[in-house]
Chains A and B, each alone.
Chain A
Amino acid sequence: MANYSTNEFKGGLKIMLDGEPCNILENEYVKPGKGQAFNRVKIRKLISGKVLEKTFRSGESVEGADVMDTELAYLYTDGEFYHFMNNDTFEQIAADEKAVGENKKWLVENDVCTITLWNGSPITVTPPNFVELEITETDPGLKGDTAGTGGKPATLSTGAVVRVPLFVQTGEVIRVDTRSGEYVSRAQK
């Protein structure tokens, strides 16, 4: 993988830091009038998800990270791995539990997810912003309550638990925002 000089730093550039691929979020050039130049960089570590600030001497080079995003459809899990497929080439890739992490509760068959590959292996799986899932269990709400005040917990088919309005019942399919984990609406049939 190529090396990058600090002059090439910009948001979105992928570099290696402490043996971990990272994404540059922000880059600021710091140059006191009479002093040495630095680059003050905000970085997200792609495996741990940690965001940190790092300072480089301007002109320094760092190793680039071979990181790319692919759009793949979720197929199934065999308990150990999560299997995805490229809908154009039918090529399949398996992501482990660590790469999927908390997002496993938003994986819906045939939904297209963003899989981040580092040296060809999946390191993170990002579900679509909105998914539709069936409610497998929720307390029957009071009839006639449409205001949605308070709400109640509902367990979805993947095991995810979200707060839903009282009028939504077991067996219904709802739309959820995976970024916030919040109920959006009943699914359109």
Chain B
Amino acid sequence: MKSWQPTTTHEARVARAELLRNIREFFYARNVLEVDTPLLSNGTVTDEHLDAFDTEFNFAQSGEPTRLYLQTSPEYAMKRLLCAHSGSIYQICKAFRHEGEGRWHNPEFTMLEWYRLGFDHFALMDEVDALLQETLATSPADKMTYQQAFQTYLNIDPLSADDNVLLKAMEQQNIDIHAPQSLSDDSKLQLLFSYAIEPKIGIDKPCFIYNFPASQAALAKLSATDERVAERFEVYFRGAELANGFNELSAASEQRQRFETDNEKRRAANLPVKPIDENFLSALDAGLPSCAGVALGIDRLLMLKTNAKHIQEVINFTVSRA
């Protein structure tokens, strides 16, 4: 075997250790507690476009072989801690996504996730900005709504544009894909965003995009003032989608409804239906304190810090060498 060697340099490994130390100091100074939750779980994500690795556990107390899922993020387990009065918490852990590899992607990666009690998504965006300034020495970030971004760079309103408007915009941007009309409106918006907006934002300093369409809410609260949008944000910097945050949805019934809607979409797309994380929903029933949370890709942050062109320059053994 000739692929035993790491794809990183010693300098990159030193940079990772330094970055992790900086992050821990950042949260220590803010009195946010570091926690640890399991990577394996009985329930998993239901998102149509997110797949977990799974494995069989032959030693369950039930005596039956049980399917366990590797986490795609520590979100559900960390929210259970929040419901158990943990206060503000953070975690640095591995997350796994059953999908392809690429310049910015490895199926197994390191994630920083944190939750702040009493913060809304605006307060949390400011804290993410502070972390970026401290770890990457960036200037204060730009902020723009999802709607403003589409209006500025594509001259369309993503909240009211119909199918024809989106298809026409894709054509104008030379997005050449077989049967574009069969894509969901969200996929059309995401392609337009990736091809026509992402290359133009977050060039000299990070850019926060917030108030995503309600159809892309995931686990975010819908806005009280405009039900068409969710209180979700993402951060983009130099070509990387760095972090995704929410003003967290705390209503258990609405959360269950969203999981079930996801699974209906999966059924319609001929994809396997996923087991809902009942422990998580029970915790929400007990009461999630008002909070905002965000997940940030540490490997991508490290790529930006070290000017790496490919994620394999910062991950010792990517999946093809794992």
A-B contact list, 13 entries, CB within 8 Å: A6-B100, A31-B99, A32-B190, A34-B50, A35-B49, A35-B186, A35-B216, A36-B48, A37-B99, A38-B191, A53-B176, A55-B177, A56-B178
How distant is A184 from chain B, measured CB to nearest CB, in Å? 34
CA distance A6 to B178 in the complex (A): 14
Q: Is B169 an interface residue (CB 8 A)?
A: no
Q: Is A7 an interface residue (CB 8 A)?
A: yes
Q: Which residues of A contact B (CB under 8 A)?
A: 6-7, 28-38, 40, 52-58, 60
Q: Is B264 an interface residue (CB 8 A)?
A: no
Cβ contact within 8 Å between B194 and A32: yes
CA distance A15 to B102 in the complex (A): 20
Chain B residues within an 8 Å CB radius of A60: 178
Cβ contact within 8 Å between A33 and B244: yes
Cβ contact within 8 Å between B100 and A58: yes
Cβ contact within 8 Å between B100 and A37: yes
Chain A residues within an 8 Å CB radius of B102: 28-31
CA distance A54 to B174 in the complex (A): 9
Q: Is B258 an interface residue (CB 8 A)?
A: no
Closest partner residue, chain B, to A59 (CB atom): B100
Chain A residues within an 8 Å CB radius of B244: 33-34
> Which residues of B from 97 to 144 have beta carbons under 8 Å from A?
99-105
Chain A residues within an 8 Å CB radius of B195: 40
How distant is B121 from chain A, measured CB to nearest CB, in Å? 15
Cβ contact within 8 Å between B177 and A54: yes
- Against A, the Cβ 8 Å flags (1 = close, 0 = not) of B154-181 are 0000000000000000000011111000
Q: Contacts A53-B176, A55-B177 hold; do A33 and B100 have CB atoms under 8 A apart?
A: no
Cβ contact within 8 Å between B187 and A58: no
Contact with B176, one of A7, A36, A37, A54 (Cβ below 8 angstroms): A54
Cβ contact within 8 Å between A58 and B99: yes
Q: Is B47 an interface residue (CB 8 A)?
A: yes
Chain B residues within an 8 Å CB radius of A58: 99-100
Chain A residues within an 8 Å CB radius of B187: 35-36
Closest 5 CB pairs of A and B: A29-B102, A35-B190, A55-B177, A32-B190, A36-B187
How distant is B60 from chain A, measured CB to nearest CB, in Å? 31
> Which residues of B from 182 to 200 have beta carbons under 8 Å from A?
183-184, 186-187, 190-191, 193-195
Chain A residues within an 8 Å CB radius of B186: 35
A-B contact count (CB 8 A): 63
Contact with B100, one of A31, A34, A53 (Cβ below 8 angstroms): A31
Cβ contact within 8 Å between A36 and B190: yes
Contact with A34, one of B47, B99, B191 (Cβ below 8 angstroms): B47
Q: Is B218 an interface residue (CB 8 A)?
A: yes
Closest partner residue, chain B, to A58 (CB atom): B100
Q: Is B234 an interface residue (CB 8 A)?
A: yes
Chain B residues within an 8 Å CB radius of A37: 49, 99-100
CA distance A37 to B99 in the complex (A): 8
Q: Is B277 an interface residue (CB 8 A)?
A: no
How distant is A29 from chain B, measured CB to nearest CB, in Å? 3
> Which residues of B from 68 to 107 have beta carbons under 8 Å from A?
99-105
Q: Contacts A55-B175, A55-B176 hold; do A33 and B191 have CB atoms under 8 A apart?
A: no
Cβ contact within 8 Å between B103 and A29: yes
CA distance A54 to B189 in the complex (A): 17
Chain B residues within an 8 Å CB radius of A33: 234, 241, 244
CA distance A34 to B51 in the complex (A): 11
CA distance A28 to B177 in the complex (A): 14
Contact with A29, one of B100, B175, B183, B218 (Cβ below 8 angstroms): B100
Cβ contact within 8 Å between B218 and A34: yes
Chain A residues within an 8 Å CB radius of B241: 32-33
Closest partner residue, chain A, to B183 (CB atom): A36
How distant is B185 from chain A, measured CB to nearest CB, in Å? 11
Chain B residues within an 8 Å CB radius of A40: 195
Q: Contacts A34-B47, A34-B49, A34-B216 hold; do A57 and B177 have CB atoms under 8 A apart?
A: yes
CA distance A29 to B319 in the complex (A): 15
Cβ contact within 8 Å between A56 and B216: no
CA distance A25 to B213 in the complex (A): 35
Chain A residues within an 8 Å CB radius of B100: 6-7, 29, 31, 37, 58
CA distance A55 to B177 in the complex (A): 5
CA distance A37 to B177 in the complex (A): 13
CA distance A144 to B42 in the complex (A): 88
CA distance A60 to B50 in the complex (A): 17
CA distance A31 to B186 in the complex (A): 13
CA distance A32 to B194 in the complex (A): 8
